[in-house]
Amino acid sequence: MRLVIARCQVNYAGRLTAHLPMATRLLLVKSDGSVSVHSDDRAYKPLNWMSPPCWLIEDGNLWIVENKAGEKLVITIDNVVDEIEHDLGAEPGLVKDGVEAHLQELLAEHITTLGDGYSLVRREYPTAIGPVDILARDSEGIAVAVEIKRRGEIDGVEQLTRYLELLNRDPLLAPVQGVFAAQQIKPQARTLAEDRGIRCVTLDYDALRGIEPDEFRLF
Amino acid sequence: MKIRVERDGLADAVAWVARSLPSRPPVPVLGGVLLDAGAEGGSDALTVSGFDYEVSATVGVPATIADGGRTLVSGRLLADITKALPAQPVEIAVDGARASITCGNARFSLPTMPVEDYPQLPAQPELAGEVTGEAFAQAVSQVAVAAGKDDTLPMLTGMRLEITGSTLTLVATDRFRLAMREFSWQPAEGLGDAAVLAPARTLADAAKSLGAGGGTVRVGLASGDGLLGLAGSGRYTTTRLLDAEFPPYRQLLPSDHTSRAVLQVSALAEAIKRVSLVAERGTQVRLEFADGSLRLSAGGDDEGSAEEELPVDYQGEPVTIAFNPGYLVDGLGALHADRAELTFTTPNRPALIKPADDNGDVVPGYLYLLMPVRLPG
């Protein structure tokens, strides 16, 4: 990763043309060859950029970034204020389902959220097509498979349906009931789930975390 | 099946039944309305019904029946068609897999769905009591306003019906407010005390449409089957009860107060609506009570601000208390009275709103309990 702070002017010629007048900006040259031009406001996409694969040719104060479609980003540098280069290493990737994992952990801890007398069998109960988020038993000892989502949509119901079909083949578990638990359940997903005999439960993340809302309440 | 029926009666009946049909039926037949001609031993009536396993609706329409029978057609389509028909007698005939509707010069032909696949309509539950339709509709609407709309806590989306002798009590709460209405009704003979929880929205819709027809509403209860039935003006509806525990609400009702104000409802409601225009996302409106005057204010230094003064009949120390303006206006609107009594203790304890008469005395039977919101700073 190379960061250059420079007074520069940028011209882009490609599917559409764009021009950035002379000003001080941050130029990012990433290890994949991509170049992006940032101004000093907002956590936002660059003013101008070229996505990889592309090539940077530095010719004195003229930088030309070109891709194989012939589109060009031409940066004319007036003076370089600062420049640093650092190797960031491999990126582990964005973990989007942090809340989902936490919801699973919390629901396992507070399994009676699903109903009185519920007990936890285990989290990540293995099946041939992947683990079910939670397997529990209700007050009568009937197995309950729980699929947890942040946003409950149709694909989550389909996923749970597949798990239920497999789990119900196990004579030691069957019959297995389904519970679709999410912070928010789409009406289509709710209709589909209920039609398949799957119970829908809306989870209150803050309440599970034990964070009492700041506002006054009657109870 | 071949029948002739008046257009207005048919359109009203179909529109009412179609309203309770699911917008996304999981099975197509559940989106249908069942037309049943001469079901009850050759009577001269067409029965229109809908059912989605949660709510059922049935209404009878006088008809001339040439040939009895049953058929199932799309509810939404039939409602749209009957609404648009000219004011002339309507003929409905079923031939094979299609139903034809003829009215004046207009002809429609609709595909029918197999009646055999349609679920059995639930029987009307046993009579629990009777009350005038108007009174029931008003009571239900006064209470439904406080019911929760969020599915996170299913018990809060319900309305509790408590039967104690000749008194019927309706209660709903969403944790921020609680509405309760008590009124006398005519219980069925030999009926024990009971308490059930019904979906507030369904109940409000049903009570409104049954009450509009005048006459009495008969309330039926089958706790064992988890069903509540309402009947009146030739219309019958059932709804599935909620299987959830209602919070012990009686302990929430404050037993005493230190401040009491009597206010004009419409003047206050209008002033709140005006002042709260500057309250971002309806956050709060502050009420400053002093001897003889009430100062409403909203907004703050960083945003727009507004204030308004109203005369008030006030007893107590000067107090500033803040409320969610939407909840406060809801409560005032639900009183169905010209004047309101507001009693409270401190700015962080619930306030009680009750209807009052012209002398400022409380009219018993209704209360709206409202939790204040935190004052800034």
CATH number of B200's domain: 3.10.150.10
Asked if A217 lies within 8 A of B152 by C-beta distance, the reply is: no
> CA B270, CA B287: separation in Å to the nearest integer?
14
> CA A75, CA A9: separation in Å to the nearest integer?
6
Nearest CA in chain A to B254: A218
Kindly give the residue spans of alpha helices, DSSP state H, lying in chain B.
7-19, 75-84, 133-144, 200-212, 265-275, 325-334
Q: Are residues B323 and B218 in the same domain?
A: no
Over 80: is that where the pLDDT of A94 sits? no
Count of domains observed in chain B: 3
Asked if A215 lies within 8 A of B252 by C-beta distance, the reply is: no
> CA B10, CA B16: separation in Å to the nearest integer?
10
Q: Are residues B176 and B192 in the same domain?
A: yes
Nearest CA in chain B to A185: B151
| Residue B108, both tokens | 């429609």
Contacts of A202 in chain B (CB under 8 A): 150-152
Over 90: is that where the pLDDT of B250 sits? yes
Q: Are residues A38 and A105 in the same domain?
A: no
Side chain identity, residue A12: Y
Confirm whether A215 is domain-assigned: no
Nearest residue to A6 via CA among A81, A57, A85: A81
Within 8 A by CB and 6+ apart from A78, the residues are A6, A7, A8, A9, A22, A61
Q: Note whether A53 and A24 are within 8 A (CB).
A: no
- A203 contact B CB<8A: yes
Side chain identity, residue B330: D
Q: Are residues A31 and A133 in the same domain?
A: no
Within 8 A by CB and 6+ apart from A28, the residues are A1, A2, A3, A34, A35, A36, A37, A38, A46
Q: Are residues A167 and A130 in the same domain?
A: yes
pTM over the 0.90 mark: no
Confirm whether A92 is domain-assigned: no
Confirm whether B145 is domain-assigned: yes
Asked if B371 lies within 8 A of A185 by C-beta distance, the reply is: no
**ipTM given for this complex:** 0.71
Confirm whether B377 is domain-assigned: no
The residue whose two tokens read 């519970």 is A179
Q: Are residues B105 and B9 in the same domain?
A: yes
Nearest residue to B137 via CA among B202, B209, B186: B209
DSSP letters spanning B146-166: TS---TTSGGGGEEEEEEETT
Report how far Cα B19 is from the mean position of its chain's Cα atoms.
Answer: 14
| Residue B155, both tokens | 């018990």
What was the pLDDT predicted at B87?
92
Q: How many CB atoms lie within 10 A of CB A196?
A: 15
> CA B372, CA B360: separation in Å to the nearest integer?
23
Confirm whether A112 is domain-assigned: yes
**How close is the nearest chain A Cα to the Cα of B153, in Å?**
8
Asked if A214 lies within 8 A of B374 by C-beta distance, the reply is: yes
pLDDT tens string A103-151: 888 899 888 888 888 999 989 998 888 899 999 999 999 999 999 998 9
User: Domain boundary residue among B88, B117, B146?
Assistant: B117
Q: Are residues A78 and A15 in the same domain?
A: yes
DSSP letters spanning B218-249: EEEEETTTTEEEEEETTEEEEEEPP-SPPP--
- Please tell me which of the candidates B22, B153, B369 has its beta carbon nearest to residue A218: B369
Confirm whether B230 is domain-assigned: yes
pLDDT tens string A165-189: 999 998 888 899 999 999 999 989 9
Count of domains observed in chain A: 2
What was the pLDDT predicted at B58?
94
Q: Hey, which residues does B369 pair with through a beta bridge? A: B178, B352
State which residues form the domain around B185: 127-250
Work out the percent of chain B whose per-residue pLDDT is above 90: 76
Asked if B176 lies within 8 A of A218 by C-beta distance, the reply is: yes
State which residues form the domain around A66: 2-85
| Residue B336, both tokens | 């169905």
- A204 contact B CB<8A: yes
Any idea of the CA torsion for B288, B289, B293, B298, to the nearest 10 degrees? 20
Q: How many CB atoms lie within 10 A of CB B324?
A: 21
Which has the higher per-residue pLDDT, B283 or B179? B179
Asked if A216 lies within 8 A of B152 by C-beta distance, the reply is: no
- Quickly state the pLDDT bin for A208 (edges 50, 70, 90): confident
Average confidence score pLDDT of chain B = 91
